[in-house]
Structure 1
């Protein structure tokens, strides 16, 4: 993205971002991502192409912004203040909240976009990267002998695997089951050092 989302954005910039993300979401409700053009996004949002390219590199960049807008701010401070044994559950809950809060939209979008297509590949990549950021920040360095980057990647990939299984592949797990699945899959990594 060409705008720094960590900086204070003007009302005009926020309106523009909302217009483009709203246009993307509206179009995804009726057609596959691969059929959506920048021209359509500009027409739907009532902004010219030049404005689009002032904010985004391409359509996929806008899609990433849509995921950011849906997820809200990750609560890294909450993770840091949580006991190490609860951090995986909290990170998993953050990502599950995003999916549950947007369940109706995702269901509509699934009608036009296959679960193994580019739209959901983008969503998976976003969730995995967000999970990596959370886990890199909050891994208990005392519990692991492996390189922390490797452990963070393993945790993030495992969280995505469980979320994908439950929310995108239709195996509807309750939160305690999500947590159990993640911990079973992470058992070898989470085992305390002797």
Structure 2
């Protein structure tokens, strides 16, 4: 992303980011990601192309910003403070909360963008990378003889697999079932 969002964000910058976020989510509810042009995004957001390119490299960069904005809702920063035996459940619950709170949008986006398409491939990659980084920082290294990065990848892939199964593939699961499925799949590591 061209804009540095690590510091304080001005109201104007936030307004612009919000406009592009709203534009892409509205367009995703109407058509596949592959069919959305930068011109359409700019028209829907009410900004010229130059503004889009001041903020984003391309449509994929905007999509990554959207994933980041949604992930801030998850509030996973405190995961390292959570007891090790509850971390997978806490991470699953936080990500499930985001998916459930955006269920209507997810449903309309799924109508135009199949789970195996580029949009959800981008989402998978983002969630796996986020989960991997979070898990890598809070693995109890004394409990495992395997490399930390390998364990983090395993946990991240398992969390994504269960979320994908429940929310993108349409298998309705309770939170207890989400937890049970993840723990059953992780049993070899835990």
TM-score calculated relative to the size of structure 1: 0.94
Mapping of residues 88-167 of structure 1, within 5 Å: 88-167=88-167
Equivalent pair of 2:42/2:52 in contact (CA under 8 Å): yes
Say how many residue pairs are matched. 190
User: What's 1:50 paired with?
Assistant: 50
Deviating runs (4+, > 2 A) in structure 1?
73-78
Mapping of residues 24-39 of structure 1, within 5 Å: 24-39=24-39
Mapping of residues 5-44 of structure 1, within 5 Å: 5-44=5-44
Equivalent pair of 1:76/1:137 in contact (CA under 8 Å): no
Counterparts of 1:38 and 1:8, CA distance in 2: 27
Per-residue CA distance 1:85-141 (angstroms, 9 max, x = gap): 111111111111111111110001111111211111111111111111211121111
Equivalent pair of 2:33/2:118 in contact (CA under 8 Å): yes
RMSD across aligned positions (CA):
1.2
TM-score calculated relative to the size of structure 2: 0.95
Deviation at 1:75, TM superposition (A): 3.3
Per-residue CA distance 1:17-57 (angstroms, 9 max, x = gap): 00111110111111111110001111111111111111111
